[in-house]
Amino acid sequence: MINIDNSNNVKLDTSGNKPKIGVSACLLGKPVRFDGGHKNNKMIVDELSQFIELVSVCPELEAGFSSPRPAMQLRRKGDEIRLLINKTPFQDMTEQMTSYADKKVQQLSDLDGFIFKKDSPSCGAFRVPVVINDDGYRHRDATGLFAQAFMQQNPLTPVEEEGRLNDNAIRENFFERIYAYQRWKQIADPLNNVSGLFEFHARHKLMLMGRGSALYQELGRMVAHTTRANLAERRSAYIARFMEVMTLRSRPGRQVNVMQHIMGYLKDVLSGEDKQELLSVFEAYRQRELPLITPITLLRHHLRVHPQPYINQQHYLEPFPRQLALRSSL
């Protein structure tokens, strides 16, 4: 049985500290690319910077390359992937980059997330082109060397690429993970605080149920019977699985189940008309006629009028600051 504080505090934000995320410097408008230019990303610079502390990193510049500089490419050599300067004769820059990256990623272990520049042989996180033969044939299955070192050193830290953030569902999932991970790291005295682990799990119940009740139950079994003696071990296993589960996208049907669960707490205070309206908005969302923000906003309204302490403690209704204007996915 998990006990949680039944105060009427609405947990709609983190402690007020901004999450801190790394960003490939060229996305912040810095002229650091091989051609001396940048890839300024308005969404990151204009919208996210108000709510998130952005830490600029250009691995190629910081590893000692200049701007402008010759372009680089990844090239498969046997079982290895090497970073080469893209002109004849090729110059192999792998050691220079990996020795910088190994040191740098340790300094970045306090980050709550990272947004990488797609396709870059240094920064690309997913499906980066790699040359596989002398004819220049490419596969899209590599990872930029710096991004790879970062993800290996910080396997729990959420990462995304700027291109994928144009997809509302991916963007929302990324920010859910960033804020959840920040909350995890803010548990006070974590290695002695058994109730901190219970409370974290309890407050994320609805968010986890949105990914599947079985997953919530699986994580519940991982925290059950935790004591001071086994806390460190349980915490490590729990957060690894929690962050993995959080990468799963919720389906509309599951979200509707969660919202109906919330509505159950309001059943004695809502009029028949209000209930009917909620159900029809849930259904319109399930049919992808309305974005998730619509039923969520209606639920928030009813919870403001009829506060429910248990629901208000959940991070589900506002997993990140409202002003980020996410939750627009169908």
- Binding residues vs ligand SF4 (CB under 6 A): 24-26, 32-33, 58-61, 117, 120, 122-123
Q: How far, in Å, CA of 79 to CA of 169, rounded?
A: 35
Nearer to ligand SF4 by Cβ, of 123 and 299: the residue is: 123
Minimum distance between the CB of residue 118 and ligand SF4, rounded to whole angstroms?
9
Q: How far, in Å, CA of 115 to CA of 125, rounded?
A: 9
Minimum distance between the CB of residue 233 and ligand SF4, rounded to whole angstroms?
37
Nearer to ligand SF4 by Cβ, of 34 and 316: the residue is: 34
Nearer to ligand SF4 by Cβ, of 61 and 293: the residue is: 61
Q: How far, in Å, CA of 140 to CA of 143, rounded?
A: 9
Q: How far, in Å, CA of 308 to CA of 327, rounded?
A: 22
Minimum distance between the CB of residue 141 and ligand SF4, rounded to whole angstroms?
19
CB 34 within 8 A of CB 68: yes
Close Cβ partners of 95 (under 8 Å, ≥ 6 residues apart) = none
Nearer to ligand SF4 by Cβ, of 58 and 262: the residue is: 58
Minimum distance between the CB of residue 153 and ligand SF4, rounded to whole angstroms?
17
Minimum distance between the CB of residue 51 and ligand SF4, rounded to whole angstroms?
22
Q: How far, in Å, CA of 215 to CA of 236, rounded?
A: 17
Phi and psi at 85, nearest 5°, equal -75, 135
Nearer to ligand SF4 by Cβ, of 157 and 313: the residue is: 157
Which tokens belong to 205?
């119940």
Minimum distance between the CB of residue 24 and ligand SF4, rounded to whole angstroms?
4
Minimum distance between the CB of residue 32 and ligand SF4, rounded to whole angstroms?
5
CB 321 within 8 A of CB 51: yes
C-alpha distances out from residue 96 to 33, 83, 86, 134, 244, Å: 17, 9, 16, 24, 32
Nearer to ligand SF4 by Cβ, of 118 and 171: the residue is: 118
Q: How far, in Å, CA of 220 to CA of 301, rounded?
A: 30
Nearer to ligand SF4 by Cβ, of 69 and 275: the residue is: 69
Q: Is the dihedral of CA 64, 66, 67, 69 positive or negative?
A: negative
CB atoms within 10 A of CB 62: 17
Q: How far, in Å, CA of 55 to CA of 12, rounded?
A: 25
Minimum distance between the CB of residue 38 and ligand SF4, rounded to whole angstroms?
8
Nearer to ligand SF4 by Cβ, of 85 and 284: the residue is: 85
Nearer to ligand SF4 by Cβ, of 123 and 326: the residue is: 123
Give the E-state strand segments of 28-111 in sequence order: 53-57, 72-77, 80-85, 91-92
Minimum distance between the CB of residue 41 and ligand SF4, rounded to whole angstroms?
11
C-alpha distances out from residue 189 to 83, 109, 125, 231, Å: 42, 18, 33, 12
